[in-house]
Structure 1
């Protein structure tokens, strides 16, 4: 009996000694974690019912920021003249003012303010965003800022302790902790990111903040949660820092992200399909369609092929294929292991560049409009349900386009009631327009038609 009492008494002490202490980590890292607030002009319609706290049932997988974040006091649905304000997190990774956050934190923002740990508020410039990975880079005009040490997300293991620092619901520098629940998670509509799954408590406002290992190194960017209520329910997801830094470096150097592309439509391999193909288990990505003239077509891939490996990396499910191909540099060759008509074959082909990322095809007219535009691929036109248009890649904040409310990511469908077919044609159309006269511009914004009035300044 006495032995049992001793064992029971010792158990709490042993458990307590194995729990991590995050105090030093927080003291060192907190100065480089920032609060990000954004504002944009009010829309002419009621606030979306998808807003956090609204009546519509929220999606299960969702970003925990944006038009669903609770409005500050004084803002209520139906107030059309008030700017919409949102809140998120970020962290400084270069001492001269470069900051990492989520793309959805700053999406459609007209103004971005960064509040530092020392209570300074600085206006930030948007360097670039990549919606496919949900990464954005900001720049503030400051020097000798505190920075965070970046870790290696490839070294992460399930079960290890991690911590997050951010601004949930606007409460600056809140710290939460937990463990890594899984790695290499693929979420619906986010096939380019092998997410880190954790049980760290994450809520609206944490978005874009850092995820740390016990050495105080950033191993991820908190990005999404699984929720039925709009708040934390035990499952949160972070972008691996290795993926985020690759994107950030491309945004800083090129202003866009280049990723590999095959040009195929794929679907999962069900158990019944696997049996019909003579496969022992359901795996791989089944090619349903090959786009004419695409790298896949030139390389000899056919509808009905099942891609099992990319450069000796297993394609365990269809959603793995876009990530593996997207990580490949355009122009590089990839070795594919394919099941075709019951036989396993090796096919080597040259990967192309994802059509909407090709800045090499971009044209600009910075004087008359202040934008950089890119042509649309046939795939994008079909997806958006339009026959013509050009994508707005970058917008000069001092130009005529910005004054009209045109934003990066918009697709310009028509100008002055005339269809926009290409960047070259747009340049000619702008040259023919008189200065000072407002003309209608039809945009496609997030899949919806949207008109703005554009007034061109002096031509130089």
Structure 2
């Protein structure tokens, strides 16, 4: 009986303090629920937007009946969607270029449900970055971090709007994972316009509609722009990739300031896809061509040297070098470590714009723009001929009428040798109204010809 009384007494005492203990437990539970992931999502989500796009696409026959009843050249309006994030209070939005490509109309939807018309400030297919501008009061901005000190295995969150309005509201979706790897290079695939190198790999689920949204660290700071996934099903399988935020911001700044991205050129070429494993043999990336008088040539690099590192990154394949070039711009100084014979050296390369960009443009036939082939232009475009005029820009209608393309090098008009852009202008002027002209040109290292009338 005494034992039973003591147990009952203990039970009564426990019941007496249980409201206080329960309140304490609820408080502790609330604190434990508010993890770094929760805090990061709350900090970042207000600046994440849905990017809704309307574009026209050519309608292709789906069955034999369409071959008879579908009008030739028929187009249909297609709706696309993606994500983005606001980086400045005046409404500048970063997203993926493949989200906005070909857009006729773009509407950005904010977290609070506002639909804001957007205009494109610039697009860069090479890095897959696009910059939009919206107008609206009280626009929140995303905290920006850095990707240069990421730790493999640290927590990250991917925020976006998968399937856009199909989920019923404009609240962004948050998924969590870790940094799986950094500096990932994705081999180019057929039809791919972007170069995905130096990427952040994560297992945070990235689904259709997440493209262009932010990848953030546990502090809620943007470290990358979600862009692509490896998948066999169309959905996330835990292998996603994000563009480093430093690259995205540099491209966005170039697009806002110049309307285009100026490309880095240092006057050297390296071993390509045919030598992906060559670094195991030579210990780095082999230099295959050096432009005479270019930055690399002036710094003392020669064909056969082996690049070891640049921007503090180890160089193994041409994709590593592409990543360095994407993260460098005209006016920068690039420090490279390399081996000359058995001697270790370093050099500082003065980065410039592409020679074709800096060259004087000469207008011929009204809309064609050409530049003189110089040693630097030859090295940039890998031109075999030692003379000629490179077609820098050619309108679509002129391409159809002449059979020429941008990048072709015109070598001869009828029997007249073309050594410069001015030579080409004079040669075309001399043949105007005199019947069909025969144009000899280089395309992709091959000699070809075409004929057309010059009015």
TM range (shorter): 0.5 to 0.7
**What is the CA distance between 1:139 and its match in structure 2?**
0.4
Other-structure match for 1:458:
none
**What is the CA distance between 1:162 and its match in structure 2?**
1.2
Other-structure match for 1:153:
147
Distance of aligned partners of 1:391 and 1:140 in 2 relative to their CA distance in 1, 3 Å threshold: farther
- Looking at structure 2, the residues matched to 272 and 29 of structure 1 have their Cα atoms a distance apart, in angstroms, of 43
Q: How many residues align?
A: 352
The answer to whether the 8 A contact 1:333-1:351 is kept is: yes
The answer to whether the 8 A contact 1:389-1:413 is kept is: no
Distance of aligned partners of 1:359 and 1:148 in 2 relative to their CA distance in 1, 3 Å threshold: farther
Q: CA RMSD in A?
A: 4.1
Find the structure with the greater CA-based Rg: 2
Q: How does 1:154-303 map to 2 (within 5 A)?
A: 154-170=148-164, 171=167, 172=170, 173-189=172-188, 193-267=197-271, 275=281, 279=282, 283-291=283-291, 294-303=294-303
The answer to whether the 8 A contact 2:154-2:178 is kept is: yes
Q: 1:35 aligns with which of 50, 69, 80?
A: 50
- Looking at structure 1, the residues matched to 125 and 406 of structure 2 have their Cα atoms a distance apart, in angstroms, of 24
**What is the CA distance between 1:127 and its match in structure 2?**
0.4
Unaligned runs of 5+ in 1: 1-12, 48-75, 393-410, 430-460
- Looking at structure 2, the residues matched to 200 and 22 of structure 1 have their Cα atoms a distance apart, in angstroms, of 12
The answer to whether the 8 A contact 2:123-2:131 is kept is: yes
Deviations 1:217-269 (A, max 9, x none): 21211111112222211111111212211221221122222242234332266
**What is the CA distance between 1:181 and its match in structure 2?**
1.0
The answer to whether the 8 A contact 1:112-1:124 is kept is: yes
The answer to whether the 8 A contact 2:39-2:219 is kept is: no
Distance of aligned partners of 1:374 and 1:24 in 2 relative to their CA distance in 1, 3 Å threshold: farther
Other-structure match for 1:91:
85
- Looking at structure 2, the residues matched to 416 and 191 of structure 1 have their Cα atoms a distance apart, in angstroms, of 29
**What is the CA distance between 1:208 and its match in structure 2?**
0.2
Deviations 1:333-359 (A, max 9, x none): 444333233443444443332457x48
The answer to whether the 8 A contact 1:315-1:321 is kept is: yes
SS, match of residue 244 in structure 1 = helix
The answer to whether the 8 A contact 1:266-1:289 is kept is: yes
Other-structure match for 2:410:
none
Distance of aligned partners of 1:390 and 1:212 in 2 relative to their CA distance in 1, 3 Å threshold: same
Other-structure match for 2:66:
none
**What is the CA distance between 1:292 and its match in structure 2?**
5.6
- Looking at structure 1, the residues matched to 358 and 259 of structure 2 have their Cα atoms a distance apart, in angstroms, of 8
**What is the CA distance between 1:332 and its match in structure 2?**
4.3
Unaligned runs of 5+ in 2: 1-27, 63-69, 189-193, 384-388, 408-420, 429-455
Other-structure match for 2:351:
351
SS, match of residue 242 in structure 1 = helix
If the length of structure 1 is used for normalisation, what is the TM-score?
Answer: 0.64
- Looking at structure 2, the residues matched to 362 and 106 of structure 1 have their Cα atoms a distance apart, in angstroms, of 30
If the length of structure 2 is used for normalisation, what is the TM-score?
Answer: 0.65
The answer to whether the 8 A contact 1:148-1:217 is kept is: yes
**What is the CA distance between 1:36 and its match in structure 2?**
0.8
Other-structure match for 1:338:
338
- Looking at structure 2, the residues matched to 238 and 312 of structure 1 have their Cα atoms a distance apart, in angstroms, of 20
Distance of aligned partners of 1:354 and 1:212 in 2 relative to their CA distance in 1, 3 Å threshold: same
Deviations 1:350-376 (A, max 9, x none): 3332457x4897899xxx99xxx9979
The answer to whether the 8 A contact 1:162-1:212 is kept is: yes
The answer to whether the 8 A contact 1:91-1:101 is kept is: yes
- Looking at structure 1, the residues matched to 340 and 224 of structure 2 have their Cα atoms a distance apart, in angstroms, of 38
The answer to whether the 8 A contact 2:56-2:102 is kept is: no
**What is the CA distance between 1:207 and its match in structure 2?**
0.1
Other-structure match for 1:111:
105
Distance of aligned partners of 1:148 and 1:305 in 2 relative to their CA distance in 1, 3 Å threshold: same
- Looking at structure 1, the residues matched to 79 and 88 of structure 2 have their Cα atoms a distance apart, in angstroms, of 27
- Looking at structure 1, the residues matched to 98 and 379 of structure 2 have their Cα atoms a distance apart, in angstroms, of 24
- Looking at structure 2, the residues matched to 360 and 192 of structure 1 have their Cα atoms a distance apart, in angstroms, of 29
The answer to whether the 8 A contact 2:214-2:225 is kept is: yes
Distance of aligned partners of 1:338 and 1:186 in 2 relative to their CA distance in 1, 3 Å threshold: same
Distance of aligned partners of 1:222 and 1:355 in 2 relative to their CA distance in 1, 3 Å threshold: farther
Deviations 1:306-356 (A, max 9, x none): 111336653244422232244334244444333233443444443332457
The answer to whether the 8 A contact 1:193-1:243 is kept is: no
- Looking at structure 2, the residues matched to 215 and 114 of structure 1 have their Cα atoms a distance apart, in angstroms, of 26
The answer to whether the 8 A contact 2:267-2:380 is kept is: no
